[in-house]
Amino acid sequence: MWNAAVHAEYLHDHSDYGFDVGNVRFSWEILKAKRDAYISHLNRIYRNNLDKAKIQTIQGHARFTNDPEPTVEVNGKKYTAPHILIATGGQPSVLSDNEVPGASLGITSDGFFELETLPKRSVIVGAGYIAVEMAGILSTLGSKTSLIIRQTGVLRNFDSFISTNCTKELQNSGVDVWKNSQVKSVCKTDKGLEVTLVTKDPEKKSDEEKIRTIQEVDCLLWAIGRQPNTSGLNIGEMTVDTDERGHIIVDEFQNTSRAGIYAVGDVCGKALLTPVAIAAGRKLAHRLFEGKKDSKLDYSTIPTVVFSHPPIGTVGLTEEEAIRSRGKENVKIYKTSFTPMYHAITSRKSQCIMKLVCVGKEEKVVGLHMQGLGCDEMLQGFAVAIKMGATKADFDKTIAIHPTSSEEFVTMR
């Protein structure tokens, strides 16, 4: 879906590059059919891989029993083993109609993939990466899109440099960002949904609130976080400890509080990324079945990409985190902002921003943050360097690749 949105962006630039593309039409229906077919193809591949590995697949809902040994029951049949792994993932958080009247009239990111047509009018609620990605895709493909956020910027857990720039890019691209706002109620009319918002002015000391509505909404999408898939597992029978949000508590080796039961992935509530779950699972398998007793995943310095417009790449500590852990006097920041060469002759402009977070006299690079064209593909290589302990001097000694945006990281002063 993001690739389709990128195509839509480039269409705006074709005339600047001398192409007369005429009247171009977009079909959500064709894209959805091809995407769904591809996902079905992937599902078959994964299932075939399980079969080839002679792994028994049991379909059903598992729940732990109160047997003396760790045991799960599926479809009335009990299963036990020396090692039981919980990897049930997570699901989008939802609000009840008691919390926000009419909340159930909206969908989540799961429902997004069931949309049969492109909504003419969309409202996205949330400030995290899923909200940012959904707003970008829908807006770029032609849906008039509003993004409702509780504070003044999106991606508040990211470096402030990224948060500020991404919020600006969303607004520049045509997304209507409602800051300091929350949904008060939702109701259905003969012209679509009517979303009522309450907005507070943080500059005013009074508690005065503005009540406004967005009308004729075709798609209201809640992207307000995720919750672990632990409901119904009956993990309390196994005395498996969870936090206040239901995430399973594990140690550095993925052990739960009950011997023989382990957990990896989103159900643990840490670094909610597919490659992280895969890596943690592999490390656990090495420890349990190959005798590598010290095998565990290093959760530090995990690279992350947000498929916004333009994309974001980030790895390591934010400036704020570095200052808190090392002290402001031991942190040095290098940053730049520029217009990528691609946009030199386009009327549509988008900045590229980059930041290095360095610590100590040796200026070890502990954080790298960027947003701009190609940043999604740039990040992996830089993540390797940072994982290996690269310093600013190592970056400086690397010859620049010209003309590219990535060369800015090795020429910063």
Find, among 148, 151, 102, 98, the residue nearest to 125 by Cα: 148
CB atoms inside a 10 Å sphere around CB 186: 23
**Ramachandran angles phi, psi of 106, nearest 5°:** -95, 175
Q: Parallel, antiparallel, or unpaired: how do β-strands 121-125 and 219-222 relate? A: parallel
Report the amino acid identity of residue 184. Answer: K
CB atoms inside a 10 Å sphere around CB 338: 13
Locate all alpha helices (DSSP H) within 180-308, ordered by sequence: 274-289
Please report, for residues 27, 83, 112, 167, the alpha-carbon distance to residue 221 in angstroms, rounded to integers and kept in the order given. Answer: 21, 39, 8, 18
Catalytic annotation, residues: 402
Q: Give 72's contacts (C-beta < 8 A, 6+ positions apart).
A: 62, 63, 64, 65, 78, 79, 80, 84
DSSP classification of residue 128 = S
Gap between the Cα atoms of 325 and 320, Å rounded = 9
Gap between the Cα atoms of 123 and 175, Å rounded = 10
What end-to-end distance do the CA atoms of the chain give, in Å?
A: 38
